[in-house]
């Protein structure tokens, strides 16, 4: 098999986090996808894909953690693929314990690793096995707040235009009081700026409203921060690209995720687009207050 410059995507992650939905979304985009493939068969699948002349950059395998030797097997399979010239990208689907419990209870199914224990025991065991895989993944997607349609849209955003070069950036605003986005590669703290929450006329609005945006951007340090951070992101993006990283999530936070982080996230997204990057901007916590 001639694997020069070819690519292979491995979709893995927590049970119940949306692997099947991701696989279906890739299939709808024209990818060749095999679900529930043992790690030991990854190279054989890549080789067969080459024999039937499938698009080298549209082959994916979904693997899960049911094998006790999962981490060892997966690492060995990735090493074998890369040694033979296949560029491997690992997509890890994540979700909070609370959300995973809710999903399993809704479908009335046990967790594949809980055995005679509780559902939470199976989830904890799986997290332990997957810790190294998650740490080394090229793309981590937290599906805790996503329904199947939102997850599908995110997969389409990341994989719907593989012919377009460069880094794809997901900029998401959030509120620190609701917790950090677990899939963030970079985190920005905008709490150094005055909070529009304390301005009565602005309190009911959010950072998408022009009045709030103008207030935030007019504050001392706002423009200086954006100018400096844009340059930092340019350096980081170039480094990510050199290292083969195709996707990055930038989380922009303030106290409640309603005013400052939203306005600043929109500005950062616009500046990155002006630099030629493909950018998606979202606001995780708008509407929670």
Q: Binding site annotation covers 244?
A: no
Is 281 flagged in the annotation as binding?
no
Q: Is 102 annotated as a binding residue?
A: no
Is 239 assigned a ligand-binding role in the annotation? no
| 179 known member of a binding site | no
- The answer to whether the annotation marks 131 as part of a ligand binding site is no
Is 13 marked as a binding-site residue?
yes
* 17 labeled part of a ligand binding site: yes
CA-wise closest residue to 178 among 264, 251, 119: 251
Check the annotation: does 14 bind a ligand: yes
Q: Is 220 annotated as a binding residue?
A: no
Is 45 known as a binding-site position? Answer: no
Asked if residue 64 belongs to a known ligand binding site, the reply is: yes
Closest by Cα among 8, 134, 139, 142 to 65 = 134
**All residues at 6 or more sequence positions from 232 whose CB lies less than 8 Å from its CB, including other chains:** none
The CA distance from 19 to 65, in Å, is: 12
| Paired tokens of 137 | 């993944």
CA–CA separation, 148 and 20 (whole Å): 10
Quote the CA–CA distance of 182 and 96 in Å, as a whole number. 9
- Residues placed in the known binding site: 13-20, 64-67
- Residues placed in the known binding site for ATP: 13-20
- Residues placed in the known binding site for GTP: 64-67
């Amino acid at each position: 098999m001639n694997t020069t410059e070819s690519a292979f995507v491995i979709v893995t992650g927590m049970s119940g986090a949306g692997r099947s939905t991701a696989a279906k979304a890739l299939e709808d985009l024209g990818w060749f996808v095999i679900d529930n493939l043992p790690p030991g068969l990854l190279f054989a699948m890549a080789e067969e894909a080459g024999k039937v002349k499938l698009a080298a950059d549209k082959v994916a395998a979904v693997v899960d953690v049911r094998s006790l030797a999962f981490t060892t097997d997966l690492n060995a399979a990735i090493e074998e693929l890369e040694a033979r010239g296949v560029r491997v990208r690992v997509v890890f689907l994540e979700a909070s314990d609370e959300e995973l419990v809710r999903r399993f209870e809704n479908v009335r199914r046990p967790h594949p690793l809980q055995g005679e224990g509780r559902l939470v025991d199976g989830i904890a065991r799986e997290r332990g096995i997957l810790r190294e895989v998650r740490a080394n993944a090229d793309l981590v997607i937290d599906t805790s707040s996503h329904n199947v349609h939102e997850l599908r849209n995110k997969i389409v955003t990341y994989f719907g235009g593989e012919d377009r070069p460069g880094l794809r950036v997901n900029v998401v605003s959030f509120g620190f009081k609701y917790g950090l986005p677990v899939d963030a590669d970079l985190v920005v703290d905008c709490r150094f700026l005055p909070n529009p929450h304390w301005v009565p006329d602005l309190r009911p609005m959010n950072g998408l409203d022009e009045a709030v945006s103008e207030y935030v951007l007019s504050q001392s340090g706002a423009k200086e921060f954006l100018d400096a951070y844009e340059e930092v992101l340019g350096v980081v993006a170039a480094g990510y690209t050199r290292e083969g990283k195709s996707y990055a999530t930038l989380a922009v936070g303030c106290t409640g995720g309603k005013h400052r982080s939203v306005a600043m996230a929109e500005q950062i997204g616009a500046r990155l687009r002006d630099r030629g990057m493909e950018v998606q901007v979202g606001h995780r916590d708008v509407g929670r207050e």
